[in-house]
Structure 1
Amino acid sequence: MSTASVTASGSTSSRQNPVAAGESRDYEARHLLVLEGLEAVRKRPAMYIGSTDTRGLMHCLWEIIDNAVDEALGGFGDQIDISLAADGSIAVHDRGRGIPVDIEPRTKLSGVEVVFTKLHAGGKFGAGSYNATGGLHGVGSSVVNALSARLDVEVDRNGSTWGMSFRRGVPGVFDGDGPDAPFTPQSGLQKLRRAKKGVTGTRVRYWPDRQIFLSTAELSLPDLEARLRQTSFLVPGLGLTATDARGGEPVVQDFRHDGGITEFCEFLAADPPVSDVLRLQGTDRFTETVPMLDDDGHMTPTDVERELEVDIAVRWGTGYDTTVRSFVNIIATPKGGTHVAGYERALTRAFTKVLEGTRLLKSGEEVVKDDVLEGMTAVVTVRLAEPQFEGQTKEVLGTPAVSRIVTKVTEAELTAFLTSTRAQTKAQARTVLEKVVSASRARVAARAHKEAQRRKNALESSSLPPKLKDCRSNDVERCELFIVEGDSALGTALAARNSEYQALLPIRGKILNVQKASMGDMLKNAECASIIQVVGAGSGRSFDLDAARYGKIIFMADADSDGAHIRCLLATLFFRYMRPLVAAGRVFSAVPPLHRFELTNPKRGMEKFTYTYTDAEYQRKAAELTKKGVGFKEPQRYKGLGEMDAHQLAETTMDPRRRLLRRITVDDAEDAEAAFEMLMGNDVGPRKEFIVQGAYALDAAAIDA
């Protein structure tokens, strides 16, 4: 069959896809580009470090730090120093054994040059040098070298100090300091000087290559400090020092924690404890089939017996949020993996088994994973040789056998705690069990509440609160819910709103402080229950953002101290039980004016009425009008929303074309959680200290009393 057809003009056209202008059908071996050595890293850096922005820049630093920590994990060295210099260089100094300086037989290069120039070369592939490490793929140091404009390494080993420099991965000699100094390519490690007796270690100093990294990429000192603090918890007894000299006067931070992950768990927990920190520990072995390099250079599948150490710190608190940090050796796995899956499976099994033997659970009740996780803070760590990760960034552990062993160890240790007969332990175990049962019942109540509050269609009777003045539109994106303080403001707002898309829900004064109350108490509170019912998306863990009935939630309270308190209580309710709404930027606070000026002789372009929102703005506006010779009547001061006429409220607070709204956001959930706990929680001490400190900065004349 012919593959050509005749067009109307008599010419032929191919039935296959046409070739774009300038393209060739030739595709031969000569067209293939072979990237050798570190060229592939520079060509596709994101494949190795994730990105070329700040995240990638920080990942390079983690690679060098992790190599130093691996030495400390092996028992070599107890101090690591990290320095950020004003010239853009980064230095990491450890007191480990030092990178080998002898000649590697296959490449005929020194160990230092092999480590920094050869991908997949290092001491972590076999079982001779390391057992449990953070580095696995042998690409960390060489990748950092390839992405550095200059890298200097010095090694203290065998009584001497050895040194070598690289420019974008190429070994050589610099004539001067900095990455722009004259450079001569030259292979080979140099003996620089004698080292002090018994002194060993490695110093790496590098300048990130700005040809690779974005101009906006900068090292984050808070991220570095958080990482070093985390590492100091994971490796007890290891000291880490960060020195930041980029801003002139050096800033020095030291980290050392001898309490290990028990101390880490206490550090992460924000709520008062229900139990002490439990350590769930155990060791087991498993067999893994891996390809091994034989003496002839062939890869042969071989069964290797591995040892897995499980060490978990866990405690329950009075709160509702869950914090789980997981690690493999010293590497954080923010997306979990088989170790976290095994741990969570064991939690449910242990609690279900123990509760079946008690009278705490009633007939028909059950415990699920979320009930056990409520208020739990845990640090899950496992150590094993050559773990399997998904990708170079090591965010997910994939070794299958880990899940089974972690489940076995956790279930056994946790069951022993929950069934302990020791008086103190028994009391704590009982409290934890009661908390889990309470969470189970609250979950069931919340689910029933959510089902009951679904918006009914036109053929069904509505179960929404009768005090809700709903809007007519079903377009969620357009609909707005105003939570209004008091019935007096409701009357004005009813006349001021656009009933097509603006709904009103009045509340009586100050609602329950949910930071101090349990979820059950919150659901029993009429005002809180009405708000959750009207929003229509549930609460807590069962909250479903897509089910929310309104695109905007707007707090509308008086512009006084009571109104500010009401807004704070409402913000606490939404942050604690409907946080996805806040995170999505759909919660707002209306900003009603404090004063209204009525101009007696407005000039062209001026409105007859103008509003100000603060006392300072009032003073400026009065001075401005007086200076311009514009007369005005005695300004009206609003003490509450109920004092406004409907058209004034619509014009200043409800009309989307003219109103002022403040969006309530959560830029840092941990900081926000700490702030709400301090201001609204049960612990009075920090709140009193905050108020006392703020009192000194308060202008007494500014108090509206």
Structure 2
Amino acid sequence: MTAEYSAHHLQVLEGLEAVRKRPGMYIGSTDSRGLMHCLWEIIDNSVDEALGGHGDRIDVVLHRDGSVEVRDRARGIPVDAEPRTGLSGVEVVFTKLHAGGKFGGGSYASSGGLHGVGASVVNALSERLDVEVDRGGKTWALSFHRGEPGEFAGQAPDSAFTPYEQSSRLRQIGKVPKGVTGTRIRYWADTQIFTKDASFAVSELEQRARQTAFLVPGLEIVISDERGDEPRETSFRYDGGISEFAEFLAPDAPVTDTWRLQGEGTFTETVPVLQPTGAMVPTEVERTCEVDVAVRWGTGYETVTRSFVNIIATPKGGTHQQGFEQGLLKVVRAQIEANARRLKVGNDKLDKDDILAGLTVVLTVRLPEPQFEGQTKEVLGTPAVRQIVSSVVSKGLQARFASTKRDDKSQTSQLMEKIVSEMKARISARTHKETQRRKNALESSSLPAKLVDCRSNDVTDSELFIVEGDSALGTAKLARNSEYQALLPIRGKILNVQKASISDMLSNAECASIIQVIGAGSGRSFDLSTARYGKIILMSDADVDGAHIRTLLLTLFFRYMRPLIEDGRVFAAVPPLHRVVVQHPGSKPNETIYTYSEKELHTLLAKLRKSGKKWQEPIQRYKGLGEMDAEQLASTTMDRSGRMLRRVRMTDAESAATVFELLMGNEVAPRREFIVDSSDRLGRERIDA
């Protein structure tokens, strides 16, 4: 450090030097996230061509040597000389920042690549980049080493490289049939720039490819991963649009159909326009903004939002998302207010979250040269878009609410009831929380009287057994370890929450007791850190009714206390089905063996028969937990040293919810098809009789 500071201390970074010096400014980071961003800069250029109607397939290949290749069948990068620089179009695109066909030259009506730095930034951050262009009946090629054009002696990125000194040139390496065009780009990310653990995530790549295929109907994107022992290829093509995308994203059963809200608006803005003389002249231009939104409300409380500008995802929103919420809130609040008496709203006020609960929305806008905040394009900044989107959404929703069609009237009525239920549930949860805060140590607990609690206050060590029936509760009281095991009996089958409203669920005594005892709330207000028990164990009979009850409970946890399942804190007890007493001759005491399925029982009996051992007849078959004595229940199902628990995973809970939607939901047709298709699989041995 020196006190002297004058002009010769200033550094001027020109061209791609600036990118290599400050890569985070252009790609966000130099880890896997930045690596994926580079790849999408290349893919998005091909997608922009497909948006313009040029090419219907993009191939992305992850090679074994760490390189990645993107191929398309579009127009191909121009190979003729660019007048101002004298360089070929290929070299301009890959070496000059803010150069390309997306600055209002008429090549693209709307595009995702807007700053003209995508390809050149990827080139600057690559150890080697090869580009091949099919155009004019010939195949042209050019290679770069860390942004500098030249020729490599071999195929590897560390092959001897000879840079062009006087002037660079495109190499003609082949011929193609007339009319065949396209671009192939293969590059090796620079290990001097990216961290050692940076790698391409196939799952993330496939997710983004699927998303793009939804947004560009008819475009096929093929992902090939050749890095593993077994190469895999995945293809994505969807001829539907964002309506299909919304259905794919929705995590719950529908309350409404997927509604499509479409429209456009115009606005003017002053932008510098490049003149033929090379000067930039501020000019007032009129822009057209196209808006296309797919919205769908479901029975759940999660909000799924995906917003896009010219098919580029904007995960942090922007003016288009603000406009959508503005239009949505305005219309829904007006409709609820107009129907306040019928919906029994009272003096309560709607919150934004009440309206967004259960909403799945895919929001897309298309406009020339949108303004983004930063090269990573995560936030749209064009101010005029807010009012245009708000107007389109308002008109579309008002038309839907004013529709006289039977389906529309039914769906809008159900939607308003759901939103009001969400509002009441939120207010109820807030009131309950405030009541709990006001309680002091001298006041009595509000926990249900039927709860048999444990003595320990250590959440990580405590267990809550949800027990089926009072008869099983009596045995379980004697079998439990009262230090850390609590019991909550439920009477029979609880409410099927898959098709019940939130208010019905909260007013159901059994559901309310479970939520109250666990103590972490429900739905959006659920807070895992305040749960009173480390393990929730569902202990039901080993019969069809027991399985039914367990599935109902799983559906409740999946819909309203999902973080418990995601954290692996929900278990199913595994009580035995049979008790076999093996008789030993003489004074040797008899041996008791428990089996957990018919197959296991038959295997055991065959083994005993083969070894010449006898057993007491009849073999005890447990129809319910109440048939066990306390010692048997403890040793087989509750004692940590000898019991078996089955951890419930998200896939188990999802399948339980799917089964209930199929077998007990409102849609009759899928249930009938299931019964007809599955009838041949039902045999006498599968009926618990």
Which TM-score bucket, shorter chain as reference?
0.7 to 0.9
Partner of 1:99: 77
Once residues 215 and 97 of structure 1 are traced to their aligned partners in structure 2, the CA distance between those partners, rounded to angstroms, is 36
Partner of 1:583: 566
Partner of 1:6: none
- Residues 185 and 624 of structure 1: is their aligned pair in 2 closer, same or farther, counting only changes over 3 Å? farther
Once residues 179 and 351 of structure 1 are traced to their aligned partners in structure 2, the CA distance between those partners, rounded to angstroms, is 58
- Segment drifting more, 633-642 vs 135-144: 633-642
Q: Does 2:222 align with 1:242?
A: yes
Give the secondary-structure state (helix, strand or coil) at the position aligned to 1:360. Answer: helix
Contact kept in structure 2, 1:151 and 1:206, CA below 8 Å: yes
Partner of 1:205: 186
Q: Does 2:330 align with 1:349?
A: yes
Once residues 123 and 38 of structure 1 are traced to their aligned partners in structure 2, the CA distance between those partners, rounded to angstroms, is 19
Partner of 1:383: 366
Once residues 499 and 66 of structure 1 are traced to their aligned partners in structure 2, the CA distance between those partners, rounded to angstroms, is 62
Q: Does 2:205 align with 1:227?
A: no
Q: Does 2:506 align with 1:523?
A: yes
- Residues 674 and 158 of structure 1: is their aligned pair in 2 closer, same or farther, counting only changes over 3 Å? farther
**Aligned residue type for 2:139:** T
**Aligned residue type for 1:314:** V
How far residue 347 of structure 1 moved from its aligned partner, in angstroms, is 1.4
Once residues 533 and 286 of structure 1 are traced to their aligned partners in structure 2, the CA distance between those partners, rounded to angstroms, is 57
Partner of 1:77: 54
Q: Does 2:420 align with 1:437?
A: yes
How far residue 327 of structure 1 moved from its aligned partner, in angstroms, is 0.9
How far residue 233 of structure 1 moved from its aligned partner, in angstroms, is 3.2
How far residue 424 of structure 1 moved from its aligned partner, in angstroms, is 6.6
Give the secondary-structure state (helix, strand or coil) at the position aligned to 2:342. Answer: coil
Once residues 669 and 285 of structure 1 are traced to their aligned partners in structure 2, the CA distance between those partners, rounded to angstroms, is 49
Contact kept in structure 1, 2:50 and 2:74, CA below 8 Å: yes
**Aligned residue type for 1:285:** F
Partner of 1:21: none
Give the secondary-structure state (helix, strand or coil) at the position aligned to 1:244. Answer: strand
Once residues 593 and 19 of structure 2 are traced to their aligned partners in structure 1, the CA distance between those partners, rounded to angstroms, is 62
Contact kept in structure 1, 2:42 and 2:70, CA below 8 Å: yes
Select which of 666, 670, 682 maps to 2:650: 666
- Residues 612 and 234 of structure 1: is their aligned pair in 2 closer, same or farther, counting only changes over 3 Å? same
What per-residue deviation string (whole Å, max 9, x for no partner) do you get for residues 108-161 of structure 1?
543312322445543435565445321234343234445556433222345543
What per-residue deviation string (whole Å, max 9, x for no partner) do you get for residues 251-306 of structure 1?
5635142x432343344445345345231423142547x78999999999998765
1:527-538 alignment, distance < 5 Å? 527-538=510-521
Partner of 2:468: 485
Partner of 1:540: 523
- Residues 646 and 341 of structure 1: is their aligned pair in 2 closer, same or farther, counting only changes over 3 Å? farther
**Aligned residue type for 2:151:** V
Fraction of identical pairs, as percent? 61
Once residues 198 and 686 of structure 2 are traced to their aligned partners in structure 1, the CA distance between those partners, rounded to angstroms, is 42
How far residue 391 of structure 1 moved from its aligned partner, in angstroms, is 4.8
Partner of 2:170: 189
- Segment drifting more, 32-41 vs 78-87: 32-41
- Residues 628 and 207 of structure 1: is their aligned pair in 2 closer, same or farther, counting only changes over 3 Å? farther
Contact kept in structure 2, 1:279 and 1:311, CA below 8 Å: yes
1:618-637 alignment, distance < 5 Å? none
**Aligned residue type for 1:101:** V
Select which of 282, 287, 310 maps to 1:329: 310
Once residues 656 and 87 of structure 2 are traced to their aligned partners in structure 1, the CA distance between those partners, rounded to angstroms, is 54
Name structure 1 gaps, 5 residues minimum: 1-23, 602-606
Give the secondary-structure state (helix, strand or coil) at the position aligned to 2:355. Answer: helix
- Residues 58 and 593 of structure 1: is their aligned pair in 2 closer, same or farther, counting only changes over 3 Å? farther
1:257-268 alignment, distance < 5 Å? 257=239, 259-268=240-249
Once residues 528 and 435 of structure 1 are traced to their aligned partners in structure 2, the CA distance between those partners, rounded to angstroms, is 19
Partner of 1:559: 542
Once residues 489 and 43 of structure 1 are traced to their aligned partners in structure 2, the CA distance between those partners, rounded to angstroms, is 70
- Residues 637 and 587 of structure 1: is their aligned pair in 2 closer, same or farther, counting only changes over 3 Å? same
Partner of 1:468: 451
**Aligned residue type for 1:372:** I
Partner of 2:587: none
How far residue 465 of structure 1 moved from its aligned partner, in angstroms, is 1.7
How far residue 511 of structure 1 moved from its aligned partner, in angstroms, is 1.5
- Residues 216 and 424 of structure 1: is their aligned pair in 2 closer, same or farther, counting only changes over 3 Å? closer
Q: Does 2:44 align with 1:66?
A: yes
Instruction: Count residues with an aligned counterpart.
Output: 674
Contact kept in structure 1, 2:261 and 2:393, CA below 8 Å: no
Contact kept in structure 2, 1:348 and 1:368, CA below 8 Å: no
Partner of 2:131: 153
- RMSD value over aligned CA atoms? 4.7
Q: Does 2:125 align with 1:142?
A: no
**Aligned residue type for 1:566:** I
- Residues 52 and 504 of structure 1: is their aligned pair in 2 closer, same or farther, counting only changes over 3 Å? farther
Q: Does 2:620 align with 1:642?
A: no
Contact kept in structure 2, 1:455 and 1:462, CA below 8 Å: no
Contact kept in structure 1, 2:576 and 2:622, CA below 8 Å: yes
Once residues 498 and 26 of structure 1 are traced to their aligned partners in structure 2, the CA distance between those partners, rounded to angstroms, is 74
1:20-39 alignment, distance < 5 Å? none
Contact kept in structure 2, 1:64 and 1:141, CA below 8 Å: yes
- Residues 514 and 357 of structure 1: is their aligned pair in 2 closer, same or farther, counting only changes over 3 Å? closer
Once residues 392 and 585 of structure 1 are traced to their aligned partners in structure 2, the CA distance between those partners, rounded to angstroms, is 39
Using the size of structure 2 for normalisation, the TM-score is: 0.80
**Aligned residue type for 2:149:** P
- Residues 489 and 144 of structure 1: is their aligned pair in 2 closer, same or farther, counting only changes over 3 Å? farther
- Segment drifting more, 301-310 vs 485-494: 301-310
Select which of 172, 185, 197 maps to 2:150: 172
- Residues 623 and 164 of structure 1: is their aligned pair in 2 closer, same or farther, counting only changes over 3 Å? farther
How far residue 515 of structure 1 moved from its aligned partner, in angstroms, is 0.9
Contact kept in structure 1, 2:558 and 2:653, CA below 8 Å: no
How far residue 191 of structure 1 moved from its aligned partner, in angstroms, is 3.2
Select which of 253, 277, 283 maps to 2:259: 277
Contact kept in structure 2, 1:453 and 1:534, CA below 8 Å: no
Once residues 382 and 296 of structure 1 are traced to their aligned partners in structure 2, the CA distance between those partners, rounded to angstroms, is 33
Contact kept in structure 2, 1:91 and 1:204, CA below 8 Å: yes
Give the secondary-structure state (helix, strand or coil) at the position aligned to 1:498. Answer: coil
**Aligned residue type for 2:259:** V
How far residue 512 of structure 1 moved from its aligned partner, in angstroms, is 1.8
Contact kept in structure 1, 2:93 and 2:120, CA below 8 Å: yes
Once residues 189 and 526 of structure 1 are traced to their aligned partners in structure 2, the CA distance between those partners, rounded to angstroms, is 77
- Residues 121 and 422 of structure 1: is their aligned pair in 2 closer, same or farther, counting only changes over 3 Å? same
Give the secondary-structure state (helix, strand or coil) at the position aligned to 1:163. Answer: strand
Give the secondary-structure state (helix, strand or coil) at the position aligned to 2:295. Answer: strand
Name structure 2 gaps, 5 residues minimum: 585-589
Contact kept in structure 1, 2:220 and 2:237, CA below 8 Å: yes
- Residues 430 and 507 of structure 1: is their aligned pair in 2 closer, same or farther, counting only changes over 3 Å? closer
- Residues 557 and 28 of structure 1: is their aligned pair in 2 closer, same or farther, counting only changes over 3 Å? farther
**Aligned residue type for 1:278:** R
Once residues 613 and 190 of structure 2 are traced to their aligned partners in structure 1, the CA distance between those partners, rounded to angstroms, is 62
Partner of 1:371: 354
Once residues 389 and 630 of structure 1 are traced to their aligned partners in structure 2, the CA distance between those partners, rounded to angstroms, is 80
Partner of 1:573: 556
- Residues 701 and 430 of structure 1: is their aligned pair in 2 closer, same or farther, counting only changes over 3 Å? closer
**Aligned residue type for 1:164:** L
- Segment drifting more, 396-405 vs 663-672: 663-672
Contact kept in structure 2, 1:455 and 1:536, CA below 8 Å: no
